[in-house]
Amino acid sequence: MADSIEGRVQSAVDAWLRWLPRWRIGTARGRTRVCRLCFGSPVATAAGFDRDVPHAVQHALLNRLRHIVDDEVEAYTARNLPLVDRELRRDAESADESAYRPDVGLDLEFEGLDVDPEPDPGQPFLFTLAGLAEEDAPPAGSRPGTPVEYTDEAKEALRRELALADDHAHSVGTTVCFALVEQRGRIGDAVERLVDPQIDDLLSELSQTLEQPS
């Protein structure tokens, strides 16, 4: 598994390096909500990202790596955890494919980011993409099909399988981090060449527009 993940991590970094030259700091959008994928992520630490690396730059790589973990856990679940796998398949089958989902089908660099800009106090939006999605969502409790009734023994077995899935996700995540450390040089060089100059230019521009003290 480690060899496979190492290759996938390298491919994810390759794809991120191809995307990074297209990123522009002027198009980055500020946010007040914490990104649950990136904030405090050990993967960000493994990549060598620090506080000065813009969130969009980090997110574009970390989201690609998240898919590696998700894919590995999904494959492990299908092979070894029949109860969890059945529940996941029921969820997938009950999903309304016709519902409006603005957060689905995005490029990996934007997947998981807020689909709407931050609200401006005093200037409410006529509508938001998230609001439209909520209006189109099926009512709570409308999941089709006959609910599965678990015995106490089956519930305990499901809990054990969920714990195994969590353990495997942690193991895969650790492997991803170790593989990512090997890519730090490439990542740091790209940030230094393509990101830092844009930050320096922006800070210089801001400093020139600030009113000088009298």
pLDDT in tens, 135-146: 545 555 555 555
pLDDT for residue 150: 76
How confident is the model over 38-97, as pLDDT tens digits? Answer: 888 999 999 999 888 999 999 999 999 999 999 999 999 999 999 999 998 887 776 655
pTM: 0.75
How confident is the model over 188-211, as pLDDT tens digits? Answer: 999 999 999 999 888 887 777 775
Domain boundary assignment for the chain: 2-118+125-201
147 pLDDT exceeds 80?
no
Lowest mean pLDDT among 78-87, 103-112, 155-164: 103-112
**Minimal CA–CA distance to 23: which of 203, 196, 207?**
196
CB of 47 closer than 8 Å to CB of 187: yes
What span, in angstroms and rounded, lies between the C-alpha atoms of 53 and 63? 15
Write the DSSP string, 153-209.
HHHHHHHHHHHHHHHHHHHHHHHHHHHHHTTHHHHHHHIIIIIHHHHHHHHHHHHHH
Task: Compute CA distances 81 → 38, 73, 92, 138, whole Å.
Answer: 28, 10, 16, 29
